[in-house]
C-alpha cells in the first residue's frame, strides 16, 4: 500500500469517528522555546491544557516533524530526522477504551496488518503514578477478538518511564513546570524475517534496538501536568496519538527498510544513478545514501518553511544537515564516472555535492505532490539555497578533511580551528574523530570558542 493511501485511510477512519481534519502546522513552531515541531502534539498544547480548539474536541491530522536529536541515529533501517506524524486527539472527550480499540481496528482492518505481528506496551508505574492495568486489560480484550491470548511478556510488555511515559522532556523528573504528560501505550510491528542480533541483548523484545520490532503507533494518555511538588491531574483527560507514516507504510509492505518505501525510494534511486553507487545489504554506501536522502528531504522542508543556513538556531541545524551530506558524498568510493549538471557522464569531479544535492529537490516535490505541503513553492530558491551553502563549504571541505587526517590526537584547540577555518559544524567534527576512535571534548571546544570571542571583542575596540 502506498503512502498516500495510508494517509488518506487514516484521515477517513478518524473523520468517520467524528474527528475534524486540521492542516499540518509549520515545522518551525511559534513557541520560541523550541526549535522545531517534533511531534504532532506540539501545536496542540494549549488545547491539551484546556483551551477550546476551534474545530472541537476530536482532531485528526498529519504533522510534518523534525527531530534534530535523531541525526546520529540515521543510517539504520528505520530512523529519520524528518517524518510525517499521523495524529488524532481527544481534548477531554474519549479515552483509553475508544482510542486503543480504534488503533487496533485501523491497523488490522483498514491497513490489513496481521494481528499476530502486533505487540503492545504499557506503563509499569513508578512511585508517583500507578501501573496502567486498564490499558493491559483493554489490549487483552482486543487481541481476544482476533483469537489471540495476549499474555504479559509475550504479547503485552510493561516498561518504566524511560519507554512508556510521554513528555517533550527526557523524563518525568526533567519536565518543566506546567508541561503536560502521561503514560503511553505503543504498538510494535514484528519483522519476523529478521533474526535477533544478540549484540543488543540476550532476548529480543519490542524496545530492543536490533531492528526486528518497529514502533508504529503511540497512544499517550495525557492526563497529568507537572507542578512544583509533583504531578496534578489535568482538568480533562486527553488522548494524544502519533504514528509515523513512513513506518506504517513499511509495516503495510512488510518492508523492514523504510528507505525502500515510496516516500524515500525515488530519492535513493536518483542518488544511486548520480553517484553510481549500490544500495542494499552489505553495501558500504547504504548508510550514507540513507543519511543523504533523509537530510536533503529534511533540509528541503526546513527551507520551504523559511529557514536559511546560518550559525544560529534552526539555521545552524540546516547547515549541519547540508554539510554532513557533503562529507558523506565525499567519503563515498571515488573515481567512478558520474553525471554532470547537464546530464552527461563525466569523471569523478562531477560528484560535487553542490551539483548533486539541489537536484534531489525534484523527486521530493514529486513524492509530496498529493499533499498540501508542496502545492506551491519557490523551488528554484530552495535549490539555490542548498547549492550556495554547499559551494561555500566546498572551498574548505577537502582541506578540512585532509587536516583531520593529519591530526593524531584531537584537542579543543584543533577542533575549534576546524570549526573556525574550515566551517565544520562541531557535531560533524565530533563524528569524524569518532570514526578515528577519538573523542572531542565539548568543554575544551567551548573554552576555545569563548577565548576566541573575547579576543575578537577586544579586537573590535582597537
In this structure, the strands spanning 165-166 and 230-244 are: unpaired
Instruction: Catalog residues that contact ligand SER under the rule CB under 6 A.
Output: 39-41, 87, 166, 218, 220, 240-242
Other C-beta atoms lying within 10 Å of the C-beta of residue 413: 12
3-class secondary structure, 70: helix
* Residue number, 241 or 424, with CB nearest to ligand SER: 241
Q: Residue 191: which residues within 8 A CB-CB, separation 6 or more?
A: 211, 212, 213, 214, 254, 256
Pair type for strands 156-159 and 180-190: unpaired
Dihedrals phi, psi of 383, to nearest 5 degrees: -60, -40
Q: For the chain, state the CA radius of gyration.
A: 24
Q: How far is the CB of 72 from ligand SER (least distance, A)?
A: 19
Nearest distance, CB of residue 179 and ligand SER, angstroms: 12
User: Measured from the CB of residue 316, what is the shortest distance to ligand SER in angstroms?
Assistant: 24
Helix (H) or strand (E) segment spanning residue 330:
helix 313-331
Q: Are 206 and 157 in contact (CB under 8 A)?
A: yes
CB nearer to ligand SER: pick between 247 and 297: 247
Report in angstroms how near the CB of residue 68 gets to ligand SER at its nearest: 15
Smallest gap from residue 250 Cβ to ligand SER (A): 17
Write down the least CB distance from residue 117 to ligand SER, Å. 20
Cβ closer to ligand SER: 87 or 358? Answer: 87
Identify the residue whose cell numbers are 496481521.
Answer: 114
Are the CB atoms for 279 and 268 separated by under 8 Å?
Answer: yes
Least distance between ligand SER and beta carbon 40 (Å): 5
How far, in Å, CA of 43 to CA of 352, rounded?
A: 39
Q: Give dist(CA 216, CA 243) in Å, integer.
A: 5
Neighbours of 378 (CB within 10 A): 11
Name the residue number minimizing CB distance to ligand SER.
Answer: 242
Helix (H, G, I), strand (E, B) or coil at 411: coil
Nearer to ligand SER, 41 or 291 (CB): 41
Q: Choose between 242 and 400: whose C-beta lies nearer to ligand SER.
A: 242
Nearer to ligand SER, 183 or 412 (CB): 183
The residue (of 28 and 45) whose beta carbon lies closer to ligand SER is 45
Amino acid at each position: 500500500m502506498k503512502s498516500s493511501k495510508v494517509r488518506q485511510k487514516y484521515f477517513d477512519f478518524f473523520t468517520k469517528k467524528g474527528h475534524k481534519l486540521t492542516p499540518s502546522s509549520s515545522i518551525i513552531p511559534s513557541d520560541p522555546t523550541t526549535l522545531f515541531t517534533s511531534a504532532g502534539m506540539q501545536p496542540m498544547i494549549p488545547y491539551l491544557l484546556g483551551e477550546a480548539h476551534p474545530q472541537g474536541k476530536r482532531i485528526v491530522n498529519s504533522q510534518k516533524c523534525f527531530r534534530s536529536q535523531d541525526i546520529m541515529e540515521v543510517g539504520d533501517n528505520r530512523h529519520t530526522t524528518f517524518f510525517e506524524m499521523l495524529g488524532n486527539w481527544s481534548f477531554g472527550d474519549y479515552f483509553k477504551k475508544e482510542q486503543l480499540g480504534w488503533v487496533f481496528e485501523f491497523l488490522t482492518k483498514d491497513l490489513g496488518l496481521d494481528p499476530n505481528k502486533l505487540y503492545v506496551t504499557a506503563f509499569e508505574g513508578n512511585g508517583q503514578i500507578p501501573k496502567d492495568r486498564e490499558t493491559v486489560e483493554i489490549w487483552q480484550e482486543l487481541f481476544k477478538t482476533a483469537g489471540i491470548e495476549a499474555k504479559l511478556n509475550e504479547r503485552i510488555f510493561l516498561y518504566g518511564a524511560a519507554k512508556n511515559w510521554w513528555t517533550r522532556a527526557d523524563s518525568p523528573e526533567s519536565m518543566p513546570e506546567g508541561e503536560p504528560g502521561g503514560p503511553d501505550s505503543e504498538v510494535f510491528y514484528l519483522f519476523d524475517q529478521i533474526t535477533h542480533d544478540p549484540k543488543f541483548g540476550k532476548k529480543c523484545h519490542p524496545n530492543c534496538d536490533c531492528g526486528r520490532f518497529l514502533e508504529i503507533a503511540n497512544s499517550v494518555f495525557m492526563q497529568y501536568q507537572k507542578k512544583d511538588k509533583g504531578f496534578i491531574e489535568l482538568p480533562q483527560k486527553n488522548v494524544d496519538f502519533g504514528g509515523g507514516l513512513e513506518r506504517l507504510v513499511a509495516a503495510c509492505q512488510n518492508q523492514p527498510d523504510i528507505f525502500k518505501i515510496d516516500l524515500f525510494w525515488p530519492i535513493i534511486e536518483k542518488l544511486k544513478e548520480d553517484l553510481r553507487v549500490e544500495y542494499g545489504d552489505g553495501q558500504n554506501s547504504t548508510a550514507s545514501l540513507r543519511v543523504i536522502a533523509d537530510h536533503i528531504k529534511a533540509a528541503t522542508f526546513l527551507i520551504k518553511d523559511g529557514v536559511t543556513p546560518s550559525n544560529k538556531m534552526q539555521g545552524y541545524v540546516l547547515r549541519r544537515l547540508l554539510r554532513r551530506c557533503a562529507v558523506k558524498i565525499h567519503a563515498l568510493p571515488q573515481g567512478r564516472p558520474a553525471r554532470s549538471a547537464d546530464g552527461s557522464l563525466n569523471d569523478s569531479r562531477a560528484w560535487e555535492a553542490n551539483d548533486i544535492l539541489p537536484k534531489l529537490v525534484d523527486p521530493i516535490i514529486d513524492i509530496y505532490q498529493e499533499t498540501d505541503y508542496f502545492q506551491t513553492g519557490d523551488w528554484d530558491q530552495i535549490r539555490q539555497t542548498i547549492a550556495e551553502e554547499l559551494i561555500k563549504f566546498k572551498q574548505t571541505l577537502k582541506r578540512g578533511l585532509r587536516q583531520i587526517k593529519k591530526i593524531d590526537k584531537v584537542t579543543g584547540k584543533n577542533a575549534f580551528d576546524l570549526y573556525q577555518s574550515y566551517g565544520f559544524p562541531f557535531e560533524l567534527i565530533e563524528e569524524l574523530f569518532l570514526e578515528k576512535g577519538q573523542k572531542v571534548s565539548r568543554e575544551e571546544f567551548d573554552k576555545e570558542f569563548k577565548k576566541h570571542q573575547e579576543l575578537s571583542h577586544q579586537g573590535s575596540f582597537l
